[in-house]
Chains A and B, each alone.
Chain A
Amino acid sequence: MPKRRDILAIVLIVLPWTLLITVWHQSAIAPLLAIRKVCHHLVKEILIIPERLTIHRQRLADDGTETRHDTGPATDSKEYCSQDKDIVEVVRTEYVYTRPPPWSDVLSTIHVITPTYSRPVQKAELTRLANTFLHVPNLHWILVEDSQRRTPLVTRLLRETGLNYTHLNVETPRNYKLRGDTRDPRIPRGTMQRNLALRWLRETFNSNSSQAGIVYFADDDNTYSLELFEEMRSTRKVSVWPVAFVGGLRYESPKVNAAGKVYGWKTVFDPHRPFAIDMAGFAINLRLILFKPQAYFKLRGVKGGYQESSLLRELVTLNDLEPKAANCTKILVWHTRTEKPVLVNEGKKGFTDPNVEI
């Protein structure tokens, strides 16, 4: 009889506690598990979409032996779903035929500032630049013309691309464009236009808005890889990377130490500049631009090659720079220059119909 009572007693003690513990665990862990599962599923879905598109394309091409596609390294969705990491960068620029890619609420906006001026190759340069930008999600193109009025050529071009854009203009005063005496009152080309774009950004966005943005200065004759834009998206203050064909070298790059910090510049032309880097070699977080509203490119008295420094030294120190492109070992942007076409056969009166736009 005591035996039965004992068993009963033990059961009565153990039962509620087991129930309690099980139920408690369930309540705490279940939601987290659910989230994890959903997260994994969603990330897989989003990454699968480009694969589905590629497969679809493959079926269409139907060429057999020679076709080859690379869907990129398959990313483990664990990377995105771990507890401490932010879920960012889930939309990859691998799908084609969509122009431009749909606007994402998760990715930060890249504001690309391009100064431009009228010359025969202008439409060609802007066309191929637009063809590149049409692949980049969340890109906002700020095109600033060096002209008295916004030209119809550029207006039409921007409208037809379908990009998200802002069209501005400011004319560099003539005497600053042409003269080149010892005092050098010349304003480096594009300065006033870039400054106008910075001012527009400061007037349009206030520091309180949660709009995550990156500012990048892109000249209209350079060449940009799509990877570059994804590298710069994670900029916290100012990020830097190598640029090809500048400074008379194959490429110029920041010097990065083992701790991943920039400590110098690998250039031949004046490596002791505060920031010996080309305009295409850095990107700035929009918050920093808004935080320091007095920071602009210096207009006059800037020595050759010091223009970038005139802005950057008001924003960051060397220590704050974030090296990208695999710790500054990959080339993702090329400082190409387009030859000026020799229009000898046009003659004085112009051989071709001036109404045809080129």
Chain B
Amino acid sequence: MRMRLKLKTVFVLYFMVSLLGLIYALMQLGQRCDCRDHAKSKDQQISQLRGELQKLQEHIKTSQLSKKTDVPRIYVITPTYARLVQKAELTRLSHTFLHVPQLHWIVVEDAPQPTPLVTDFLAASGLTYTHLYKLTPKDRKLQEGDPSWLKPRGAEQRNEGLHWLREMGAAAKGKEAAALEEAVVYFADDDNTYSLQLFEEMRYTYRVSVWPVGLVGGMKFERPVVEDGKVVRFHTGWRPNRPFPIDMAGFAVSLRLILTNPQARFDGDAQMGFLESSFLQHLVTMDDLEPKADLCTKVLVWHTRTEKPKMKREDALQKQGLGSDPDVEV
């Protein structure tokens, strides 16, 4: 009898204790246990992230992207060739292009096939691009030690770009063909410097538009001279009697004009300084030129040139077989 009583008491006590414990735990719950502290900093970060997300979403709504979907496209043709500074030049050029809406970059390598450096670079750039290649024939190519002005550079590559545009233009239909009607083509060398405003100036070109170019022709800038809204002559210190004494970076051509003039191309055999003229004279007269950049009074593009880096120590090391790791891409 005593035993049973003890057991019963034990059970009852046990039951009471567990009930009390449960009530205690429930009360704890209502009080927000201290494991919250551990999660507090995470909470802060979450709210910060939330704030940023909101800001980003607002930014998307107001960004130019949503507005600039229906502006004319700009096709930029850039000839490029392998040398030490190539990747650097293309990198900083891509940083400029990334700011320009509706820009399609046509990169044409002077090579027998696409190089991995340019292929990988373009894929990672974030730009809309077309990667082409065309090797300059040996007799037209500049040799080591030749001054840069001896033979026109990039003619074959630019022609290849034009050829691609013409093929694309012929194959386009419907809405795409309508978009091409308004598109503009610009020839951008990989070592020049372009301001963002330049692209907005050239975007609305009916035939050929022109503007000043800085640091070219042995002068601070070269420019077309405008009177009554028309180009009457060119202000340049070097051979002003060329049909178009203007630098490659100083004009843009409407795609329509290029497609309707299939014979217009750059003459690789042209005399020094006549490369631009060899192309433009098929397309337009001076009278038809459209002056931009505040009637050709502002400089929005500079003909900068990058020094060839001195490699004398590298060359010395290479001779000893101790050159820098060729697997590291520069």
Contact = CB atoms under 8 A, between A and B. Distances in A.
Interface of A: 9, 12-13, 16-17, 19-20, 23-24, 27-28, 31-32, 35, 38-39, 42-43, 45-46, 49, 52-54, 56-57, 60-63, 66-70, 72, 86-87, 90-91, 94, 96-99, 102, 104-106, 120-121, 123-125, 127-128, 131-132, 134-135, 223-226, 242, 244-245, 247-251, 266, 268-269, 329-331, 334-339, 341-346, 350-352, 356-358
B185 to A, nearest CB: 15
Q: Identify the interface centre among B33, B101, B221: most chain A CB within 10 Å of its CB.
A: B221
B173 to A, nearest CB: 11
Interface of B: 11, 14-15, 18-19, 21-22, 25-26, 28-29, 33, 35-36, 39, 42-43, 45-46, 48-53, 55-57, 59-60, 63-65, 68-69, 84-85, 87-89, 91-92, 95-96, 98-99, 101-102, 104, 122-126, 128-131, 175-176, 179, 193-196, 212, 214-215, 217-221, 223, 235, 237-238, 297-299, 302-307, 309-314, 316-317, 323-324, 328-330
B312 to A, nearest CB: 5
A132 B92 contact: yes
Contacts of A57: 65, 128
B19 A16 contact: yes
Nearest to A66: B130
A348 to B, nearest CB: 13
Contacts of B130: 66
B59 A98 contact: yes
Contacts of A67: 128-129
B221 A356 contact: yes
A70 B128 contact: no
Closest 4 CB pairs of A and B: A345-B237, A248-B313, A345-B218, A124-B302
B116 to A, nearest CB: 15
B307 A337 contact: yes
B92 A128 contact: yes
Contacts of B235: 352
A88 to B, nearest CB: 9
A32 B46 contact: no
Given A68-B123, A102-B55, A249-B324, A351 B128 contact: no
A39 B49 CA distance: 8
Contacts, number: 268
From A24, A61, A244, A250, residue with most partner B Cβ within 10 Å: A250
Contacts of A330: 328
B311 A35 contact: no
A46 B48 CA distance: 12
- Interface hub of B95, B96, B237, B310 (most chain A Cβ within 10 A): B95
Nearest to A126: B193
B122 A68 contact: yes
Nearest to B24: A20
Nearest to B18: A16
A35 B85 contact: no
A343 B218 contact: yes
Contacts of A97: 63-65, 68, 98-99, 101
A25 B85 CA distance: 62
Nearest to A332: B91
B73 to A, nearest CB: 8
B119 to A, nearest CB: 10
A253 B130 CA distance: 34
A69 B219 contact: no
A17 B18 contact: yes
